Structure 1
């Protein structure tokens, strides 16, 4: 549509990611005329790179407690009405093979393309029109309709759904568009920051641990607020990553320490005393290499400025203190890698502005926000995709 005529439709959805595709298929399936817009040349770009290209599309153990929000109750309605089992049923309907990796995380056996193709097929079957490479230049509201000026023509719709995601991974096309629209129509947007993101370390810590970049270790990482995750930690040339770090990053605030237990399997702080009793001639590095990767043991001892002496040269107090430090090692990140590598954006459109049942703005009729643009952020492991499916589905029922 480039001749100045307006195309009249029931619903315009902006953002052809997980939430937008889900909402478009559902809404069109109810007989509504739906146009789904995206500035990218490909739908579902974030889906395609997720889970190492295999898309961790949901989790067996989805529950509201796995989500961060200023209002932790907001996500309950949508998650209870369109559950992980509903999405798994859709995957089964399309005969997509999948497997559980760990902790209830479900991945495609073959490729994340299977999930995108499934959603595109659902949209096509329902009759939703998808327009890619389309810039939204202006949005206005008059006579109970939304007017959109786009690079592919003028649109007018009774309902407008914003599914543009957050600020994470700008290389994939992430922008602040959804937050700008929210503010344009008077909705409050809570401060945003990068979530599920690697930590960077202070220069001295970084200099010590970049020597073991690529080495991972089992760990329990705890935030100042007392939230903890037991998963692998990965040393990188910039700092710390791995599932445990990504998880705790969402609970971490600038300037805080985290505490890392490098020996989650050992609960007895007397264990080094026992080792000394068995063989006091063994050096501390040799003993730690029994329970930690050898290179991790070496670098950790260097970081702690502990000489590699035989156990018999340490007194009881020193060995107990060493065991306790391994079980609760305080380290203060210098920051995070930011939106560039973050999997999600924390914060966003204030849930107090929206109906938890329909995702509609309380003050602007016919305007809806779904997925990552809303202040609901899940744990690593398929939880954010499930929020996209659930919020997209819930919104579509109300259109």
Structure 2
């Protein structure tokens, strides 16, 4: 913790999460006097809880098409300047053991605290002043340039200010609308915001339909409109979650249906017809139990007509069984909201920012990075990589 008697800095970074830490480090490496402000008692709290405490710190397959934004090209420059391998190289430099879990997702072998410790060591090496329990209250711009930042009863001055306070997701970790309020106060536009990577909740009919399945998981293809994801679904006591649901939630529109295929690799109708020939005395239910949890099979087939032995099943009945397993339609009544959302969709409009620097076009010296900006990645380390890349880019230009 740097002595707070110092009041003048070239760069003040507000927010000690992934993007803010990266930005402060890179600015410090360039010889800038840098202050990093964090309103809670320690930096990187979201890093510490991510990935079940092991931090899914990036994804091998990071590419622009894995991100949602009003401008689908905006984030390309940041990833070109700081691709995922750059962060992997940093992790390896510190000897942090990691592994690929699946689908390119990289996790620490041990604990997420290794990532925060690494970043704090980098801050120290770059002479970054880190103040915790120091939340910014407001920012004022001075003519012709420069800013003052109010921190409780204190004030610091800076030539450049970077806002890296994130979005609205997980308020219990301290998330708030500071970035959005500051953007609005400087006349910047915001795109519509909603929770992303978030579980769905059910209305009464679907709650009754899937009653008793809480805790049951299955590999599915989840689809809405033209978008689909292959991952697990998990039934909860309020609806559905799991990676497939979190992914599709970012594309879901209120009132729209989600279609689930519970046997995505199987030509189920052909298999059922083969069983009718080969095992006419067999049970459809027992056959399905080979693939899916018995409780799930029972619920999915609950509304089909009574099922006789295979030999007595008509083509129509086998088609109904197939549809009941491979085209399950659910219509969520909403989501679990920001309290369980991993990210915030939308935010500071990319139209207001320079994609090469993250500086606002209308307010020289003011930058926005990370989740505060209207760039949202898929599940699986993509949002951390956006934080590293956007933070790096701002750090090179403040």
Q: TM-score range by the shorter chain?
A: over 0.9
Which SS does the other structure have where 1:349 is aligned?
coil
Deviation by residue 1:302-332 (Cα, 9 ceiling, x = unmatched): 2x35434333343102212321342222111
2:206 alignment counterpart: 205
1:151 alignment counterpart: 152
TM-score between the two structures when normalised by the length of structure 2: 0.96
2:373 alignment counterpart: 374
Following TM superposition, the consecutive aligned residue runs of length 4 or more in structure 1 with deviations greater than 4 angstroms are none
Structure 1: 5+ residue stretches without partners: none
TM alignment of 1:1-399, pairs within 5 A:
7-143=7-143, 144-151=145-152, 153-224=154-225, 226-267=226-267, 269-302=269-302, 304-399=303-398
- CA shift, 1:6, in A, is 7.9
8 Å CA contact 2:9, 2:156 repeated in 1: yes
User: Is the alpha carbon distance of 1:337 and 1:146 closer, same or farther for their aligned partners in structure 2, counting shifts above 3 Å?
Assistant: same
364-373 or 286-295: bigger deviation: 286-295
- Tell me the distance in 1 between the aligned counterparts of 2:276 and 2:202: 33
- CA shift, 1:281, in A, is 2.6
Which SS does the other structure have where 2:147 is aligned?
strand
- Tell me the distance in 2 between the aligned counterparts of 1:96 and 1:398: 29
Deviation by residue 1:116-173 (Cα, 9 ceiling, x = unmatched): 1111110011011111111322211012111111126211111010101000000000
Which SS does the other structure have where 1:251 is aligned?
coil
8 Å CA contact 1:6, 1:153 repeated in 2: no
Which SS does the other structure have where 2:355 is aligned?
coil
TM-score between the two structures when normalised by the length of structure 1: 0.96
Which SS does the other structure have where 1:188 is aligned?
coil
- CA shift, 1:209, in A, is 2.2
Structure 2: 5+ residue stretches without partners: none
Which SS does the other structure have where 2:346 is aligned?
strand
- Tell me the distance in 2 between the aligned counterparts of 1:322 and 1:352: 50
Deviation by residue 1:88-135 (Cα, 9 ceiling, x = unmatched): 000011110101100110000000000011111100110111111113
8 Å CA contact 2:25, 2:122 repeated in 1: yes
RMSD: 1.5
